[in-house]
Every structure is written in C-alpha cells, then in structure tokens.
Structure 1
Amino acid sequence: MQFNAEDIYRLNLTLQTKSTSLAFGRALYAFEYEQQQYWLKTQAPNVNPYYEAGFLNELAFYQQCIEQQSCTDFLLPFQIMPDVNILAEQHVSGRAALIVRHADVLLHDCSALSIQEMQKILLQVLNAVDQLHQFGWIHADLKREHLVQYQQKVCLIDFEHVQEINSQIVLQSLTATPRYMAPELFHGAEKTVQTDIYALGVIIYEWLTGQRLTAKNYQEWAYLHCQRLTIELPEHFLLFKRLLDGMLAKQKEYRFANIYTLKQCLMTEIV
C-alpha cells in the first residue's frame, strides 16, 4: 500500500470521528480507493496532549514495525504519511496521517458455531496477540472491536496505548477501558502481558455468553473486577471454564503468565 499526496487529494474523505474526539483534535476518515475500503487517522497538534500522545505512540509503534519488518502478520496493511499539510483543502490537519485498510470485526454471535470452529477462532486470536508479545510489546487496550478479520487471518488494530513489555515509561494519561481492566490496574499497577490476558478473558467471556458485563461508573467496574466477577457459562460451553478461570483470575499469581500456557490449555482441554 503506497498512497501519494495526489491520491489522497482526489479522495472523497468521509469524516467518521465522534464529536468528543473531534473537539480534541482527532480526525478519522473513511474512504474508498480502487474498490477497497480504508481509514485515515490524524491528530491536530497542540489541541489535547493526551490524544496527541496516543496518536504519536501509535505512529512510533508502526514505524518500528516498518524498520524491523518482523511483526506484520498481525497488522493490517498500513501506511504512514509524514506530512498532511498538503491536505488542507480536504480539511485534514495534523503533522502526520496513518492510513489502514478496513477490516471486519472478528467476533460475532457464536451460537451457531461448533466447538471446533470456536477453538480455531480463539487460537487465531491468541496467535495474533502472542506475535505482538513476542515482538516485545503489549497492546494495553484490547477490546472486542480491536480484533478484526482480514483475508482469513486475525489482526489487531488501534495501538495508541501500546507499550514495550517491562517498559519503565508509564503512559499515565492513557488508561485502559474499565470494562477490560485487570484488578491490579485499579490499584495503580503497571500494564503487563497478564493484563492483556485478562482483557482477552473478558472479550472471550462476553463472546461465549452473548452478554456484556455492566457497570454504571468507574467505581462499579472496580468492584466488579476486583471482587464480584464470577464466571457463569451455559452448560454447553463449560469446557471453556478452566481457560477463563486462568485468564480472569483476580490475583496475578493465579492467572496465566503468558499466551503459550493459555494456548496449551485451549488445545488440551477442548478435544
């Protein structure tokens, strides 16, 4: 994928940004090029430091992927445009733009799937996250909509919160979504491989039950994750319970330590 300025200038960009994000300088556009769907994201500088930090963090991650050329399997086709000032007439402003291919959300209603089909999907998800971890990064903001399907493979999107494993740099302004936060994060702990695993556990649990966890505010989410959450599965999905117990353990020492042990559980418990 390699767009030039003239390509972008001729496009019919459709603004898709939520009003709150737009007020903070974020702009997200959808466009079509040669019958393919794409997204273009940019951030106006000096409007909101938190949004700007997230965008620059994502650009830096993608740039490292370009330089090392070793982590593209779990990424959608993308391109970084370093200067979008020439797009002023398209009402695009910012220091740089990120262009990413469109892909469909992966996890839909699983009620019609066989156990084997579900196992295959989950292994693909775990492989994608494992590749990210093996590359030395945690996603730090995994949620259902960040798992997509592209050309028969599972990809990850939205890397604004991504950080290096065991990084000493804590992005204080970039917090995870409370729905997917591991208990220790509510106590100010750093994000780790195990907090990614917990978030995946919430995603999988909601997928299996067909119901979303509910809470009214941050305090209720903290109470849910730290004390109240219990795993209740339909009878035909009980074979996934040990997997979820290991992903959603409230104490880190009882949670799966890495994706490898998680995959071993998935492959040995479900036959």
Structure 2
Amino acid sequence: MIQNRKPQNLLQFKNEDFANIALQLCTKPKSLTFGRCLYTFEYQQQRYWLKTQSANIHPDIEAGFVQELNFYRQFLDQAKTVNFLLPFQIISHFKNAIETQGQGASALLLAHAEVFLGDCTLQSVQQIKQKILLLLDSIDQLHQLGWVHGDLKREHFVEYQKRACLIDFEQVENINSAQQQKNLTATPRYMAPELFHGADKTVQSDIYALGIILYEWLNGQRLTAENYQDWAYLHCQRLSIELPQHLRIFEKLLMGMLAKQNKQRFADIYAIKQLLLTENA
C-alpha cells in the first residue's frame, strides 16, 4: 500500500500497487508510434497520469523523456513544495500487464489536474487578471530556478489545488547552458520568430509562447496556418493583435510579449506582472 507520510510534492506508489489498478490508455495515435504511452487511472478516489517511453524506437522522443525525468529528479530531495509542479513520482522499473518490455521502463507519475485556461467569455477583467497572474507565477518560479520551459502551450498549464502548474518538461533547457539542444524544437504555433532562424530558446521565447497562449485565450480563436513555412510567415511578419473591445486593456500587455524582436519584449516575468498590476481596469 502507499505510505501515508510523504514529502510535499512527492507521490509514493510501489510497483505492486499497480497489480490491481486498471490503466486507461489515452495516448494520441502519433505518439504511440513513437513508443510513448500516457495512461490515466484512479486510486483511492484520486486520479493520476502515468507516462512511459519505450526504448529503441525514436531517439529524439526518448531523449525528450529522459530530459523530463532528469528535470524532475532535481526536486526529489527537496522538502519544500515547488508550487509550479504537480505532485509526482519517478518509477525506475515500471512493469505491469501492459508495460512488459525488457525489465520494465521508467515511468513518470503525476497527480491528475484539469486544464487551467477554460472559456473566459463570462469572466470579468479582474478575474482574467488573476488568472494571468497565476500563470505568470508558475513561469516566474521556473525561470528563477534557472530554466526555460521551451515548449509552452495552452494544455501545458493545468490547475491543481487552486494554483497554476506546468507539465511536459521534455524541451526544458537550463538558461545558463552553453550547449542547448538543437534537435528538439518547440511547437510552431507558439514559436518566437527568432526560433525559426535557429536561435536558442530563452526567457524571451517563453514569454512569446505565453503571449500566443493568452492571445488565443482572450480572443477566443486559434491562430491557423497550413504548414511550418506558413507558421514562420505568421510569427515573423503577419501577426497583429486585435482583441474584443472590452478586453483591449490587455493589448499593451500582449504587444510587449509578442514583439517580433526578442530584445523589444519584456525583459522578464516580473516586468509583465508590473504592467498587469498597474494597468487600470
């Protein structure tokens, strides 16, 4: 059975706990072809996610999973809660009726959480501001610890116990790393213009991705492009900010996050917070 006492942020399942747990596969078909499996399950009236990666199928996807596991490992010995992380556990040799390859694959276990950004049409400006501030807090803590997420998208922000948490750290990079990963890229929908030209991911590219997330959320529409080249054209030349009349108070914020030149964007998350808090509703 699961031990009752555990450090904050850490789950403590044992392999034998999964003997009678029904895992529900919810992986996207494309991810399955890469050896990635994502499951949901319920245990003692709580829901969880379980993520595994088969070996020797797709080197880049496997490298991303290893990167994510290594990112989480740095927090294993920290008694203090890391607010932007869901409760988690790394199982080194996970094996059950479904995952039977080799001696068992490494698995990442996370507490289940809901998508953070739902429909904002019925929310007041103040409610929207509070939502944005919670998002900024999560990214700020990540950056303060010396990391850029590298693949921010709307579904990577989830709500757990009334706070915004981040998931999916496969593209995470150390801000001070001298050798960044060139073979792993962000999602074109959220890529800053400089990334299309091969530049390194930075705090400013995270800010740009967050700006796209907020723009689509506030505007109620997703940006569209047919292919990678079209996304490059949209982000590097064509993107313009237009919000509904009652939300135009956020246009200045978005323009500072979505400036085409990274040096013209906000310097950091603190600067975004300051503007958000001083703008009159």
What pairs up with 1:1-271 in 2 under 5 angstroms? 1-69=11-79, 72-84=82-94, 86-87=95-96, 89-93=97-101, 94-271=104-281
Task: Please report how far the alpha carbon of residue 68 of structure 1 lies from its aligned counterpart in structure 2 after TM superposition.
Answer: 4.5
Q: Structure 1 residues 40-49 or 52-61, which shifts more?
A: 40-49
1:133 Cα deviation (Å)? 0.4
**TM-score when normalising by structure 2:** 0.93
Q: Classify 1:232/1:246 alpha carbon distance in 2 versus 1 (closer, same or farther; 3 Å).
A: same
- The change in CA–CA distance for 1:135 and 1:266 in structure 2 (over 3 A counts) is same
Write 1 or 2 for the structure with the bigger share of helix: 1
How high is the sequence identity, in percent, across the aligned residues?
A: 59
Give every structure 1 segment of 4 or more consecutive aligned residues whose post-TM-superposition deviation is greater than 4 Å: 68-71
Residue 77 of structure 2 aligns to a residue whose secondary structure is helix
Using the TM superposition, give the Cα deviation of residue 70 of structure 1 relative to its aligned residue in structure 2, in angstroms. Answer: 5.4
Q: What secondary structure, in the 3-state scheme, does the structure 1 residue paired with 2:56 have? A: coil
Displacement after TM superposition at 1:189 (Å) = 0.2
Contact 1:15 1:30 in 2 (8 A): yes
Which region of structure 1 is more displaced relative to structure 2, 204-213 or 170-179?
170-179
- Aligned-residue offset at 1:174: 1.4
- 90-99 vs 25-34, which deviates more? 90-99
Which amino acid in the other structure matches residue 91 of structure 1? E
Q: For 2:57, what is the secondary structure of its paired residue?
A: coil
Match of 2:5 in 1: none
Q: CA offsets, 1:78-103, max 9 Å, x none?
A: 0000112x42x233545310000110
Measured in 2, the distance between the counterparts of 1:71 and 1:131 equals: 12
Deviations, residues 132-153 of structure 1 (Å, cap 9, x unaligned):
0001111000000001111111
Amino acid across the alignment from 1:224: L
2:35 partner amino acid? G
Residues 156-202 of structure 1: CA distance to partner in whole angstroms, max 9, x if unpaired? 11111111113122222211000000000000000000000000000
TM normalised by structure 1 equals 0.96
Which shifted more, 13-22 or 44-53? 13-22
How many Å apart are 1:29 and its aligned residue? 1.0
Aligned with 2:126: secondary structure? helix
Say if 1:39 and 1:102, in contact at 8 Å, map to a contact too: yes
**Root-mean-square deviation (CA), in Å?**
1.3
Per the TM alignment, residue 49 of structure 1 is displaced from its structure 2 partner at its CA by: 0.3
CA distance in 1, matches of 2:255, 2:46: 41
The answer as to whether partners of 1:166 and 1:192 remain within 8 angstroms in 2 is no
Instruction: Decide whether the 8 Å contact of 2:99 with 2:105 is kept in 1.
Output: no
The 3-state SS of whatever aligns with 2:195 is helix
Give distance in 1, aligned partners of 2:61 and 2:77. 25
Write the distance in 2 (CA, Å) between the matches of 1:120 and 1:247.
18
Aligned partners of 1:230 and 1:45: how far apart in 2?
43
Match of 2:158, SS? strand
Listed as ranges, the gaps of 5+ residues in structure 2 are 1-10
Distance 1:69 1:249, change over 3 A: farther
2:74 alignment partner, SS class = helix
- Which blocks of at least 5 consecutive residues in structure 1 are unaligned? none
